[in-house]
Amino acid sequence: MKLTTALGAFAVAGMMFAGSAQAVDFTGAGASFPAPVYQAWGVKYKEKSGNALNYQSIGSGGGQNQIINRTVDFGASDATVPAEKLAANKLLQFPTVIGSVVATVNLDGVVTNQLKLTGPVLADIYLGKITKWDDKAIADLNPGVKLSSQAIVPVYRSDASGTTAIFTSYLSAVSPEWKSKVGSATSVQWPVGSGAKGNEGVTGTVKNTKGGVGYVEFIYAAANKLVVTQLQNKAGKFVEPDTKGFEAAAAAADWDNAKDFAASMIDAPAPEAWPIVSPTYVLLPKDPKNVEAARTTMEFFKWAYGKEGREIAEKLHYIPLPESVVKRVEEALKKEILTPEGKPVL
């Protein structure tokens, strides 16, 4: 924890930051899926409070490891951590925002939202069963779209990735063969393709590879002007990735029965739902060694749940959490994050 002088007095979401106080530098590491919103929140929060966030986008697996080893103040993971692992490492898991994963392609003459794919076809591409873009399975879905016999180059995450966990959970939901042969996890044995590190790496690789296909969090595709595809959802409708579809999937989540806030939104049945939507999570020690940094971290996320934080998230194409879930998270923070004396940190 590094201390600097905070100037001015700011009231943020009911919290007062006094000019005589010292600002706290706090650290987080993990998922690249929410990195754009965490970094944007960090910039605005520093303006408001003087407290500076240093967030490293290293993948969900790295984020889990770093918080278990207590080398950061919070870890970030798109993949949920099993209850027994949370308990063994004295961690609280809670969601921050809801995001979406999209399929992106690099094909001459094909523009955004023109190409249609189904989940089983996408699974067969990553299984190596469909190897050319003019394969009948793809052509039959896309009458009128000029497809070449160019080889398909699947791109996947080479690091332990929550985005991979989300994507492979979707493939497992729509393809029994994928589920039995590969399954879902932060790291899997990919049958074919080329690996790249982080959402950033997959974005760059697809953008520079003719015939490439990859999966990234939507903000990376939007910010880098990647060509995204339509996907057929559980209701049988081909949908484009947009806020309406993300919100429809998010609304289908069963938060009331979600242990450790692990609510699924994959392949939601709503007619307008985008099929690959998921919350992203933060992991906090229930027994923080650095109480001041823990308090600052918790205040940061409480601020992010407020009006200003929600607006920033929406501009970056994330879906804010329902207010009822925010209330439950805030109650958990007060109850479960304790000082060495057993008192609430916040």
User: How far apart are the C-alpha atoms of 13 and 44, rounded to whole Å?
Assistant: 13
Determine contact, residues 150/211, Cβ cutoff 8 Å.
yes
pLDDT of 163 over the 90 cut: yes
Q: What is the pLDDT at residue 214? A: 98
pLDDT in tens, 4-31: 333 233 333 333 333 335 788 999 999 9
Q: Under 8 Å CB-to-CB from 191, ≥6 apart: which residues?
A: 126, 127, 128, 181, 182
Q: What is the 3-state secondary structure (H, E, C) of the chain?
A: CEEEECCCCEEECCEEECCCCEEEEEEEEECCCCHHHHHHHHHHHHHHHCCEEEEEECCHHHHHHHHHCCCCCEEEECCCCCHHHHHHCCEEEEEEEEEEEEEEECCCCCCCCCCEECHHHHHHHHHCCCCECCCHHHHCCCCCCCCCCCECEEEEECCCCHHHHHHHHHHHHHCHHHHHHCCCCCCCCCCCCEEECHHHHHHHHHHCCCCEEEEEEHHHHHHCCCEECEEECCCCCEECCCHHHHHHHHHCCCHHHCHHHCCCCCCCCCCCCCCCEEEEEEEEECCCCCHHHHHHHHHHHHHHCCHHHHHHHHHCCCEECCHHHHHHHHHHHHHHCECCCCCECC
Determine contact, residues 268/169, Cβ cutoff 8 Å.
no
324: exposed, middle or buried (C-beta count within 10 Å: 0-12, 13-18, 19+)? exposed
Q: What is the pLDDT at residue 23? A: 82
Q: What is the pLDDT at residue 3? A: 33
Q: Which residue has the higher pLDDT, 15 or 197?
A: 197
User: How far apart are the C-alpha atoms of 276 and 182, rounded to whole Å?
Assistant: 18
User: How far apart are the C-alpha atoms of 194 and 341, rounded to whole Å?
Assistant: 50
Q: What is the pLDDT at residue 9? A: 31
Q: What percent of the chain has pLDDT over 90?
A: 90
- Domain ranges, ordered by start, for the chain: 2-98+280-336, 101-277
Q: What is the pLDDT at residue 19? A: 35
Taking alpha carbons only, the member of 226, 224, 206, 228 closest to residue 276 is: 228
What is the bridge-based pairing of β-strands 2-5 and 22-30?
Answer: antiparallel
Q: What is the pLDDT at residue 62? A: 94
Q: What is the mean pLDDT of residues 98-125?
A: 97
Q: Which residue has the higher pLDDT, 130 or 9?
A: 130
Q: What is the mean pLDDT of residues 288-297?
A: 95
pLDDT of 151 over the 60 cut: yes
pLDDT in tens, 54-100: 999 999 999 999 999 999 999 999 989 999 999 999 999 999 999 99
pLDDT of 204 over the 50 cut: yes
User: How far apart are the C-alpha atoms of 223 and 203, rounded to whole Å?
Assistant: 10
Token pair, residue 134, equals 């003019």
238: exposed, middle or buried (C-beta count within 10 Å: 0-12, 13-18, 19+)? middle
Band the pLDDT of 343: cuts 50, 70, 90. Answer: very high
Give the count of beta carbons closer than 10 Å to the beta carbon of residue 27: 19
Q: What is the pLDDT at residue 22? A: 76
Mean pLDDT score of the chain: 92
pLDDT of 2 over the 90 cut: no
User: How far apart are the C-alpha atoms of 262 and 268, rounded to whole Å?
Assistant: 15
Q: What is the pLDDT at residue 8? A: 32
**pTM as predicted:** 0.86
Half-sphere exposure at residue 126, Cβ-oriented, CA atoms within 13 angstroms: 30
pLDDT in tens, 301-337: 999 999 999 999 999 999 999 999 999 999 999 999 9
Query: Does 2-98+280-336 match 101-277 in CATH topology?
Result: yes
Q: Which residue has the higher pLDDT, 135 or 1?
A: 135
Chain position carrying tokens 């590190």:
197
Q: Which CATH architecture has domain 2-98+280-336?
A: 3-Layer(aba) Sandwich (3.40)
pLDDT in tens, 230-281: 999 999 999 999 999 999 999 989 999 999 999 999 999 999 999 999 999 9
Which class in CATH covers the domain with range 101-277?
A: alpha beta
Q: What is the pLDDT at residue 6? A: 32
Q: What is the pLDDT at residue 21? A: 56
pLDDT of 118 over the 60 cut: yes
Token pair, residue 32, equals 């690249």
